[in-house]
Structure 1
């Protein structure tokens, strides 16, 4: 397996830490003075997304949250802190989308359940030591949960958003499409990288790729959402409860 470029992992994790920390501060500033409790939900959720990711990246940058597992006689570096990050931040991202769309509690529970199953089975795949085939099998199970999650995003959640105003529906579509594109890249990077044991890209490149995806999916997502203050006003306006 190819070795990572010297220092590339450290640089990527450092950029990730700085980017998430700056995103957190920016989101706090954007939400300062907001008194509408419904709108505050979007700011609070989005701030915690970036803050949790910042802590995760800092831990990895400092050498914590990482272990080695031996697969077929070869030691693989696994950043388990990345999965801990995703376990909390990805449901929060979905919650932002669900609140924007005016989704029901049943829909939110379904999305979060699918997401948690996706992350946990992905972590099992990353930690599996029985061989490459077993790791890839767990990747397939995790990807299966992801495909079902996508179905709910483009069907039920989109149907809820279509009942909102044009501006809210348009913002939802933008954020939903961003999530679909970026989240689809994660399992691809995983399977072609060192964790999928294919090793088509080295660990340093894999770490940098995940960092870019994380910044776009968390900080980029947050800026698009929170800068749309007028749209959030419309989304926070009292309306009929969404159907299950």
Structure 2
């Protein structure tokens, strides 16, 4: 199925933006030899690589399907949800590792995230009345709000044991995710999959800009300062060698 046309420009821009971000992260981490710092680069590179593949799929029509709701045909980019299902847990993993979160905290964050994306997909693919689609949206949004609450509470508890520069970076990335992730359900609600106020062209543009900011922007902020990553990994080594 070919993409509907006009909005495909945003999908190609997304493909190019994610690809350039991936190449930049590969190049900037090419000469790293510290395994713990390399891990941040590996995770961030995979985030942009998955997103680039997803946007390429949508731009070429592979990641698109149609469903009929109340006699109206809707274009649904299922590849977007496949992207989010993998990349959003990786974003949380990057942030959790930076904050030196324990495994239970990481598992809880990832579990809430997967539930949020799965219920959002349920809303996107539901063919019953619009009220049922909005119910799925409400469940997914509630999961998002609980996820963000748990994220803030957990990272606030951890920030006291971090060096000042690491704590500042954790807070900056946390706030970036909060602002951007809250915007996603708003775009969904007013877009073609929700109330239909926002046309598909502008909905696609909005999601693309949010995705670039949440993936490439997040990665750039995280990886631009090696001194902060040095401080973060020093904590891990100290804990590993402590009696």
TM-score by length of 2: 0.95
Q: In structure 1, what is the equivalent of residue 67 of structure 2?
A: 69
Aligned to 1:218, which of 200, 215, 219?
A: 215
TM-score by length of 1: 0.94
Q: In structure 1, what is the equivalent of residue 192 of structure 2?
A: 194
Q: Do residues 107 (structure 1) and 115 (structure 2) align?
A: no
Aligned to 1:160, which of 143, 158, 161?
A: 158
Q: In structure 2, what is the equivalent of residue 132 of structure 1?
A: 130
Residues in 2 aligned to 1:224 and 1:154: alpha-carbon distance in whole angstroms: 19
Q: In structure 1, what is the equivalent of residue 43 of structure 2?
A: 45
Q: Do residues 207 (structure 1) and 204 (structure 2) align?
A: yes
Q: Secondary structure at the residue paired with 1:68?
A: strand
**With CA pairs under 8 Å and 6+ residues apart, which has the higher RCO, 1 or 2?**
1
Q: Which runs of 5+ in 2 are unaligned?
A: none
Query: What is the RMSD computed on CA atoms of the aligned residues?
Result: 1.1
Runs of 4+, deviation exceeding 2 Å: none
CA contact (8 A) 1:49 1:92 kept: yes
CA contact (8 A) 1:102 1:161 kept: no
Which whole-Å deviations, capped at 9, do the CAs of 1:82-133 have from their partners, x for residues lacking one? 0000000000000000000000000000000000000000000000001100
Q: Secondary structure at the residue paired with 1:236?
A: helix
Aligned to 2:33, which of 26, 32, 35?
A: 35
Aligned to 2:228, which of 222, 231, 234?
A: 231
